[in-house]
Amino acid sequence: MTIRDVLSDADERTNVQDADASLMRAARLHKKFEPLTIDLVPRPSPRASDVLVQVKACGIVPNVVNVLNYSLESVVSLPPLPAIFGLDAAGVVAAKGELVHGVEVGDRVYVNPIRYCGSCRYCRMGQHAGCEYSTLNGYFGMGSKALQMFQDYPYGGYAEYMTAPQYSLVKLPENVSFETAARWGYLGTAYAALRRASVDMSSTVLINGVSGTLGVGGVLFALALGVPKILGVGRDIELLERVKAIDPHRIHVHSTNSRISVAEWVRSHTDGCGADVVLDALPTGAPAEAFLAALDALGKCGRHVNCSGVLECVPINVPKYTVSSQTLIGSCWFTTAQGQEMAELAASGRVNLDVFENRGYALEDINTALAEVNERKGGFSNFVVLPDERRSK
């Protein structure tokens, strides 16, 4: 039995919370198209193989607005209401179940939101995206049985505490802040896509949508993986220059406002060969033409990996990619193991995550944050909710 208590005064909320440690504050959606409300709900206890995480930061990814306004309802399933959303949470382990080993209370962790059954054919092969229960906790479900995962794990990161299975935890090094870790989902999506496309120290990588939230992550991890030449395509000249400034010798940028086509530009940088790898990181709703313009720049024997938000059907020139021995790859999310690899790249200094501008919001300001997320400066902005911070008066 939950206790709903919408509070308007921050002091009153503080007093209620302090008076009863069995409760926690959570931002919940009660009804479609209405603002989130701050509710006091029972603080969950971890089951045997789960941990309880005190959330220190949770990302407000640009696409969460599309999720909360139900514009993606035709392609994904959403949790039953009232629901606590919040995709990318990072925090401190506050308690653990009796079957959890190797994780201790006080550990700094990122909670990978991917949930799956663990026992189906795909899960046994480590291919969790194929699981019918496949769900992004606090966000949406991809599998036909996602509702079960929403019932098992109803706590997203827009709350003071959440439960998480032990298999979901990425241990964070000291040099990764909670705010940066709340970006792990988009960074990990880009990292996994690069790994699936087998990029290495000889690859030329074209990133379509380079200055967006996924694109900037792709640049940072392509650099970390030793890619010698990154070709970035975007619209906004100022943002493109900012991307180039990350590593002017290895990054080249091109605006789609140019009269030169993407394919022509890429060939001019690759002795006419085209890119070895195309990472498509276009935002949700981007048109098919923008996708095809980058695909056209893929060289022979190249790999195209898509983690874009293109929703419409794209006409593919089948004979061309067949005779060119090209590979088309779809890539959704990343594994906890890959999340840990990223943490280790950060710990060793191989990846530089200092480029982000963090903008933090108290939990009670979450509706303001959702309204302001479109003010971001491309992929360099990092909007986060900080559940244990109080609204400044």
Q: Which residues bind Zn ion (CB under 5 A)?
A: 116-117, 120, 123, 131
Do residues 25 and 13 make contact, with C-beta atoms less than 8 angstroms apart? yes
Q: Which residue lies nearer to Zn ion by CB, 60 or 120? A: 120
* Bond preceding residue 283 cis, omega within 30 of 0: no
Nearest residue to Zn ion by CB is 131
CB of 149 to Zn ion, least distance (A): 10
What span, in angstroms and rounded, lies between the C-alpha atoms of 141 and 31? Answer: 18
Handedness of CA 90, 95, 100, 105 (dihedral sign): positive
User: Which among 379, 385, 378, 380 has a CA at the least distance from the CA of 360?
Assistant: 385
Q: Are strands 204-208 and 229-234 parallel, antiparallel or unpaired?
A: parallel
Q: Which residue lies nearer to Zn ion by CB, 41 or 117? A: 117
CB of 122 to Zn ion, least distance (A): 5
Q: Which residue lies nearer to Zn ion by CB, 66 or 135? A: 135
What span, in angstroms and rounded, lies between the C-alpha atoms of 352 and 221? Answer: 9
Q: Which residue lies nearer to Zn ion by CB, 120 or 282? A: 120
Q: Which residue lies nearer to Zn ion by CB, 117 or 281? A: 117
Q: Which residue lies nearer to Zn ion by CB, 65 or 129? A: 129
Q: What radius of gyration, in Å, describes the C-alpha atoms of the chain? A: 21
Do residues 128 and 141 make contact, with C-beta atoms less than 8 angstroms apart? no
CB of 151 to Zn ion, least distance (A): 16
CB of 131 to Zn ion, least distance (A): 3
Coil/strand/helix, residue 214: helix
